[in-house]
């Protein structure tokens, strides 16, 4: 009897396991339902963009616009692309907008803001881009064969642009011209020509602006009242830039500016600033006039000033600090001081006509109350130190006795 009961239990357990297995197997077809549906969105779904397929073209709505091919403007008197809306992006997609003078390539009026133009080439226009509103961005552009480059207003960003081989024979030339609170970086403006007798500017920024890592070279205007390399309004900063060949003022900045780690060579005046500005770790060489010119209450620190055809470092006003500069082989003075109350310290002046020159009585004006200490002067042709009375000049040691920590040395 017990054996029968055990056998019935075994059959019941086996039956239960079979039913469970059959239930597990009967969950549906193993045949795949088909290819999976795409989960990504198309570019048009992400951002609706409008193609620009012909010129002239007017943008009257916010949004993104792009070129599908290079375009040639058939007219002469209007604009290639006219922007009449805010919040617009124009992507040239690597293509060229080609026009003819006196037309403007891309124009936006002052009432519109937040325009971006990027990634392409403009050529043949009277003005490549004239966008006089605020908050504009221009990046990765090449402008050539035009009369002028980029002209815009305040709060602009211009980055990674080239303005090269342009020729304006009608009036003033400007390569990149932006207003206050703007930034120009990684740009090249070179080999451009302006009309005879007109002022020309390679890179110009308004007050409170930044210019960084830019190059201006070989810009030419015959009989020009002024050809300027990099010009900045007050409270601006210019850094890591190079300006070369022919500019009346290589780098010029107004009041309360800083100019750092820049090179200016083969210009008329290398670097010039007016009031309460800093020039630091810069190089000026082979300029036709002064290497560096400063006005009042400026600092010139750690600069290399050599082979300029007039003064190496010209101190025009009072209250300046001139420290730790190397001034060599300049045609007139290594350091020339016109005015009073300046501090001249720790400089080395070598192989100039005069080393350190302070004007005194008997000359047109007298430089007075200047502090001169810890300088070294060597092999300057006329005098190592031309300092006169009325100034605070530490002892000039020509013996090598090293008797004073503040002494000036002449050898």
Task: Kindly report the pTM of this predicted structure.
Answer: 0.87
CB 173 within 8 Å of CB 193: yes
For residue 234, what is the DSSP state? T
Cα–Cα distance, 199 to 174 (Å, whole number): 9
* Helices assigned H by DSSP within 173-252: none
Cα–Cα distance, 127 to 135 (Å, whole number): 20
Residues in the chain: 411
**Phi and psi at residue 92, in whole multiples of 5°?**
-75, -10
Q: Which residues contact 94 (CB under 8 A, 6 or more apart)?
A: 119, 120
**What is the token pair recorded at 103?**
């037309």
Which is nearest to 153 in space by CA: 114, 185, 181, 179? 179
Cα–Cα distance, 395 to 372 (Å, whole number): 9
pLDDT string in tens for the chain (411-residue length): 445 454 444 534 444 444 444 344 345 555 556 666 666 666 555 558 999 999 999 999 999 999 999 999 998 778 999 999 999 999 999 999 999 889 999 999 999 999 999 999 999 999 999 999 999 999 999 999 999 999 999 999 999 999 999 999 888 899 999 999 999 999 999 999 988 888 899 999 999 999 999 999 999 887 665 789 999 999 999 999 999 998 999 999 999 999 999 999 999 999 999 999 999 999 999 999 999 999 999 999 999 999 999 999 999 999 999 999 999 999 999 999 999 999 999 999 999 999 999 986 555 557 889 999 999 999 999 999 999 888 999 999 999 888 899 999 999
Across 95-161, where does the E strand assignment appear?
96-98, 104-108, 115-123, 127-131, 136-144, 148-152, 157-159
**What is the token pair recorded at 118?**
């990027």
Q: Give the per-residue pLDDT at 29.
A: 58
């Amino acid at each position: 009897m017990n054996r029968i009961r055990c056998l019935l239990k075994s059959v019941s357990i086996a039956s239960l396991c079979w039913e469970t297995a059959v239930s597990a197997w009967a969950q549906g077809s193993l045949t795949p339902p088909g290819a999976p549906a795409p989960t990504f969105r198309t570019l048009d779904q992400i951002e609706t963009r409008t193609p620009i397929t012909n010129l002239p073209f007017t943008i009257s709505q916010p949004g993104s616009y792009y070129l599908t091919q290079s375009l040639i403007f058939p007219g002469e008197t209007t604009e290639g692309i006219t922007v009449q809306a805010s919040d617009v992006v124009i992507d040239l997609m690597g293509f060229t907008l080609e026009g003819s003078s006196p037309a403007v390539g891309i124009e936006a009026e002052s009432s519109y803001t937040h325009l971006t133009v990027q990634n392409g080439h403009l050529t043949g226009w009277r003005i490549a881009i004239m966008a006089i509103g605020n908050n504009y961005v221009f990046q990765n552009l090449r402008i050539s064969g035009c009369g002028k480059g980029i002209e815009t207003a305040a709060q602009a960003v211009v980055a990674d642009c080239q303005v090269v081989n342009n020729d304006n024979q009608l009036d003033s030339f400007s390569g990149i011209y932006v207003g206050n609170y703007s930034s120009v970086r990684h740009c090249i403006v070179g080999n451009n020509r302006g009309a005879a007798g007109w002022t020309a500017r390679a890179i110009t920024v308004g007050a409170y602006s930044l210019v960084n890592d830019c190059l201006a070279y070989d810009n030419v205007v015959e009989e020009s009242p002024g050809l300027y390399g990099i010009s900045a309004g007050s409270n601006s900063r210019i850094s890591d830039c190079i300006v070369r060949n022919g500019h009346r003022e290589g780098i010029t900045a107004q009041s309360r500016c800083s100019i750092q780690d820049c090179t200016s060579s083969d210009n008329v005046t290398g670097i010039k600033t007016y009031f309460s500005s800093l020039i630091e770790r810069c190089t000026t060489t082979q300029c036709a006039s002064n290497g560096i010119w400063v006005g009042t209450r400026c600092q010139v620190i750690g600069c290399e000033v050599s082979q300029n055809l007039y003064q190496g470092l010209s101190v025009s006003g009072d209250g300046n600090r001139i420290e730790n500069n190397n001034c060599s082989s300049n045609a007139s003075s290594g350091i020339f001081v016109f005015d009073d109350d300046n501090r001249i310290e720790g400089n080395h002046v070598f192989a100039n006509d005069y080393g350190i020159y302070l004007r005194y009585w008997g000359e047109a004006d007298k430089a007075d109350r200047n502090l001169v200490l810890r300088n070294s002067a060597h092999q300057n042709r006329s005098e190592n130190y031309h300092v006169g009375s009325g100034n605070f000049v530490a002892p000039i040691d020509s013996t090598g006795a090293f008797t004073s920590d503040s002494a000036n040395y002449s050898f």
